[in-house]
Structure 1
Amino acid sequence: MTRDGLFACIDAGAGAVVAKSVNESAAARRQLDIADYAFVSPGGAVRPPGAARLGDGLLNRSGLAQVDLDEWLAVLSDGVAHGAPRGCPVIGSITLGEPSAAARIGRAMATVVPAVELNIGAPHGREAHAVRQLTEVDAVGEAVRTVRDAVDVPLFVKLPGQASDVVALARAARSAGADAVGLVGRYPGFLPDLDGGAVLGSWGAWSAPGCLPMSLYWVSKTRLALGPGVPLIGTNGARTADDVLRFLASGASAVEVVTALWIEGPGVIAELVAGLEGLDLAEFVGSALAGAREYAEVPPVRPPAWLPYTARLRSSGR
């Protein structure tokens, strides 16, 4: 969200940096004033500030960058200039409000950045009217087409994870002109604190290592449906190098990481990149799909996997 933050991620060795989103809404910027973050242990305890661990879940409220567009374009331009000699592109991002306004912002961004992300999967769109989360095919197609017509650089479209058919949304985004598809945004969340209230005192957005298989479900299904020619960007659940590898094996060509940076700082990027050393990406991306079968194709398990559980229940008298 700041020039220094962009520089820190570039210098840490990121392959690319997606800057904080903006949109046309003053209300979306004001929402940053109520931003709050709770890191939750696997056992459900909220960590004290500064004590978060990579295995924690994150429940939060957030808002958009509190800057005018011209000022933000200057920050992006400085980021692009800093990243270019290091081989690290800086990508501008728009969280959808109104498609026509997103097109106007995207047109301006395209004058300073090499690519634009259109985020139509913001989980806060279910709580804050200043941003929108699109879960219907026609709405996705219309929004992407509107922004695509205004942007003359590559357009990445980030989709929600909570929709009846994310693959259909990806197909609609691609048909409307998306160059790459991001899968998936964080999930809406709510967590009682068991003292008569709720963590953060509100609903929020949730991400955790446990979200990883859910994100990989949509990455893998989209890879199979759209084929290897459509670049997919995996997100939501990657904290470690092994997590990054699982996204790639599921069909993602790139992986976005943010929570790990909040917990351990930009230096964690170097650890993630080191975990990919020596990897033949052309062979590895999507490699897990060769061994994955539809349910109807799975042969009977011998002995049936449920037998040990039945025996355990019988021995306990249940």
Structure 2
Amino acid sequence: MDRVELGGLVTANPVWVGSSELTMTLAGITACVDAGAGAVVAKSVNESAAARRQLDIADYAFVAADGSVRPPGAGMPGDGLLNRSGLAQVDLDDWLGVLADANAYGSARGCPVLGSITLGDPEAAARIGRAMASVVPAVELNIGAPHGREARAVRQLTEVDGVTDAVRVVRSAVDVPLFVKLPGQASDVVALARAARAAGADAVGLVGRYPGFLPDLDGGAVLGSWGAWSSPGCLPMSLYWVSKAFRQLDVPLIGTNGARTAKDVLRFLASGARAVEVVTALWIGGPAALRVMVDGVSGIGEDFVGSALAGTREYGDVPPPPSPAWLPYTARWTSSGR
């Protein structure tokens, strides 16, 4: 896909860079633009000084498949990422200047730069969104931040009424496309997406990272606390909600959490996403990883979006296979002692 229209925003390709410390400065954002991103979501802000102070205790650990932990800067493909983070440490007026400069740079190269708000107080988010809308072409409202379970300065909304109220308040103040990022840890993420759409979201992002915890087995825990978790293993979990939302709702979808390769991006698209935000792949592979993903989805047609759903059945409609899939496993166990 070499051109994407999503919720009123047009981008050159579906591979977007998500909000993170990599997009917290003008230099970081422009590096993503130069690497070929379809769009860049700037680091989130909100009204809380406490959320900004939390960045002082940010930490990152890459976890290999065998459970060994690598320090920041040493991540390898296939690693999971457990981290603790905060929001950009900048006054809003200064941040608006950065966003304006970043968007001028990106727009000239076909790459829009979005503002991002991690929800604290909905009324404050509306005020920030109104200000951002004067300098960016779209705003992302993150109500799925995993740190919302640990940090009082941000919120993770997992109930329909809360999503409806927050999105409606921010929507009333923002006159550019509003994209709402939802959590994956909720009883019914499709219901949250439906509520966000009904309250005015132009597109929905599915899904935020999961809360995580990992003992170090030396009497403590990796990072010394709880954190947020993402890994290639999260990909099927994210695609579950993307595919369900695509089948049940009429809302443009943005995939997040689990895409590390071009094949992963394609799987998001085949599940119904029209764009995919990536972050951890860039922590590990740098800007070159982004270019590989962009090249890997070039030429994909519009009809590819949601194509995996055409052959997907509900459980009750799946015909039995010729031989039970569990049979080889039971045979291995029952014959092992003979």
**Match 2:181 to one of 158, 165, 185:** 158
Match of 2:259 among 238, 247, 250: 238
Could you say what secondary structure the match of 1:92 adopts?
A: strand
Q: Does 1:296 align with 2:316?
A: yes
Structure 2 counterpart of 1:306:
326
> Which amino acid is 1:245 matched to?
L
How far the C-alpha of 1:267 sits from its partner, in A, is 2.3
Deviates more, 1:26-35 or 1:304-313: 304-313
| Offset, 1:283 | 1.1
Runs of 4+ with >4 A deviation: none
Distance in structure 2 (CA, Å) of the matches to 1:81 and 1:141: 33
Cα distance in 1, alignment partners of residues 77 and 126 from structure 2: 37
Q: In the alignment, is residue 42 of structure 1 matched against residue 65 of structure 2? A: yes
SS in 2 for 1:86: coil
**What residue number does 2:294 align with?**
273
Of the candidates 184, 193, 208, which is equivalent to residue 231 of structure 2? Answer: 208
Distance, in Å, in 2 between the alignment partners of 1:124 and 1:49 is 19
RCO higher in 1 or 2 (8 Å CA, sep ≥ 6)? 2
Partners of 1:20 and 1:278 lie apart in 2 by 30
| 8 Å Cα contact 2:60/2:72 also seen in 1 | no
Counterpart position of 1:25? 48
In 1, Cα distance between equivalents of 2:229 and 2:316? 33
Matches within 5 A, 1:171-210: 171-210=194-233
The residue aligned with 2:155 is 132
Question: Aligned with 2:99: secondary structure?
Answer: helix
Give the CA deviation at 1:49.
Answer: 4.0
Per-residue CA deviations over 1:150-170 (Å, capped at 9, x if unaligned) read 000000000000000000000
CA distance in 2, matches of 1:106, 1:54: 36
Counterpart of 2:318 in structure 1: which amino acid? V
- Residue 180 and residue 202 in structure 1: after superposition, are their counterparts in 2 closer, same or farther (change >3 A)? same
Give the match for residue 94 of structure 1. Answer: 117
Q: CA deviation at 1:310?
A: 1.4
Q: For residue 145 of structure 1, what is the aligned residue in structure 2?
A: 168
SS of the counterpart of 1:267? Answer: helix
* TM-fit CA distance, 1:313: 1.2
Other structure's SS at 1:308 match = helix
Q: Which amino acid aligns with 1:77?
A: A
Q: Does 1:253 align with 2:300?
A: no
User: 1:70, 1:213 → 2: CA distance?
Assistant: 40
Amino acid at match of 2:336: S
Alignment TM-score, normalising by the size of structure 1: 0.98
Matching residue's letter, 1:289:
L
Unpaired runs of at least 5, structure 2: 1-23
SS at match of 2:147: helix
CA distance in 2, matches of 1:167, 1:173: 10
**Aligned equivalents of 2:117, 2:148: Cα separation in 1:** 13
CA deviation string 1:116-145 (max 9, x = no partner)? 000000000000000000000000000000
CA distance in 1, matches of 2:131, 2:252: 24
**Structure 1 Cα separation of the partners of residues 72 and 143 of structure 2:** 30
Which residue pairs with 1:10 in the alignment? 33
1:4-35 alpha-carbon deviations (Å, 9 max, x no partner): 00110011110000000000000000000000
Structure 1 stretches lacking a partner, 5+ long: none
Aligned identity (percent) is 81
Q: Secondary structure at 1:28's aligned position in 2?
A: helix
User: 2:13 maps to what in 1?
Assistant: none
> Which of 288, 306, 314 pairs up with 1:286?
306
Q: Secondary structure at the match of 1:146?
A: helix
Q: After superposition, where does 1:114-133 map in structure 2 within 5 Å?
A: 114-133=137-156
Taking the aligned partners of 2:297 and 2:124, their CA distance within structure 1 comes to 39
TM-score w.r.t. the length of structure 2 is: 0.92
Shift in Å, 1:317: 3.3
For the residues of structure 2 that align with 1:97 and 1:49, how far apart are their CA atoms? 28
Deviations 1:70-107 (A, max 9, x none): 00000000001001111100000000000000000000
Letter in 2 for 1:286: G
